[in-house]
């Protein structure tokens, strides 16, 4: 059976999109192997011809699973959810599912791509205010949405793909010195989620490719 082979995650410890996939695997209790793709070293290992066959976008993550290679973290997470047992990563109710996807896409399309490494490299010297602008714009929209949808977690009281997207984005916000305290709902949810084992195990400070100086 194809699922007896462990999935392989090609990722980078600090990539928020790789972290999303690590959280999903951890929540589902799925064992997987990691192959490090260092986005900085050698000018960026994601740019090699070899990696390009795994993900033609030359970004992380790429996941080999069940005989196929998938990229785009939300596609991977939903594939895992639809094919593996364990806690649901999207709720059963269609409206709640739509809210989970809306929040996930607000982050995955509305914030993350604009503060991605390749974009910031193109922006150059102004990259910090650029990243702060787009993270703040996204969080200003996310805060009132989460005020309406959140219970204990982003949508109601069950952990979902929305939470999987939120925590790595808050981590990025902090790296770019955004004051997350301006967004009390985001801050509260992030603090709650940070205590959960699946989010801790998958944290950038605890990966096989985390440099010693950044290890937790």
Instruction: Considering the complex, state which of residue 69 and residue 215 has its C-beta at the smaller distance from a copy of itself.
Output: 69
The rounded distance, in Å, linking the Cα atoms of 65 and 9 is 9
Which residues would be at the binding site for a copy of itself (CB under 8 A)? 55-59, 66, 68, 70-72, 74-76, 78-79, 82-83, 94-95, 97-99, 101-102, 104-106, 108-110, 112-114, 119, 122, 130, 133, 137-138, 140-145
Write the CB contacts of 90 (distance below 8 Å, at least 6 apart in sequence). 78, 81, 97, 100, 101, 160, 161
Instruction: Considering the complex, state which of residue 32 and residue 79 has its C-beta at the smaller distance from a copy of itself.
Output: 79
Q: How far is the CB of 167 from a copy of itself (least distance, A)?
A: 18
Q: How far is the CB of 153 from a copy of itself (least distance, A)?
A: 17
The rounded distance, in Å, linking the Cα atoms of 154 and 137 is 18
Instruction: Considering the complex, state which of residue 69 and residue 205 has its C-beta at the smaller distance from a copy of itself.
Output: 69
62-65 and 68-71 beta bridge pairing: antiparallel
Q: How far is the CB of 106 from a copy of itself (least distance, A)?
A: 6
Instruction: Considering the complex, state which of residue 182 and residue 215 has its C-beta at the smaller distance from a copy of itself.
Output: 182
In three-state form (DSSP H/G/I as H, E/B as E, the rest C), the secondary structure along 89-110 is CCCCCHHHHHHHHHHHHHHHHH
């Amino acid at each position: 059976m194809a699922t007896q082979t462990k999935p392989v995650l090609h990722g980078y410890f600090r990539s928020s999109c790789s972290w999303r996939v690590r959280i999903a695997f951890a929540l589902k209790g799925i064992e997987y192997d990691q192959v490090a793709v260092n986005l900085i070293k050698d000018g960026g290992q994601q740019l090699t011809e070899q990696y390009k066959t795994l993900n033609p976008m030359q970004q992380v993550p790429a996941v080999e699973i069940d005989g196929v290679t998938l990229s785009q973290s939300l596609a991977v997470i939903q594939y895992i959810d639809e094919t593996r047992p364990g806690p649901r990563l999207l709720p059963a109710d269609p409206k709640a599912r739509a809210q989970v996807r809306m929040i996930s896409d607000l982050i995955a399309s509305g914030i993350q791509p604009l503060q991605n490494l390749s974009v910031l490299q193109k922006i150059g010297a102004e990259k910090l205010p650029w990243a702060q602008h787009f993270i703040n714009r996204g969080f200003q929209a996310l805060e009132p949405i989460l005020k309406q949808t959140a219970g204990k977690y982003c949508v109601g009281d069950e952990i979902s793909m929305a939470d999987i997207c939120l925590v790595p984005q808050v981590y990025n916000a902090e790296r770019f010195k955004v004051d997350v305290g301006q967004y009390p709902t985001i801050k509260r949810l992030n603090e709650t989620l940070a205590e959960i084992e699946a989010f801790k195990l998958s944290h950038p400070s605890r990966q096989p490719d985390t440099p010693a100086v950044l290890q937790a």
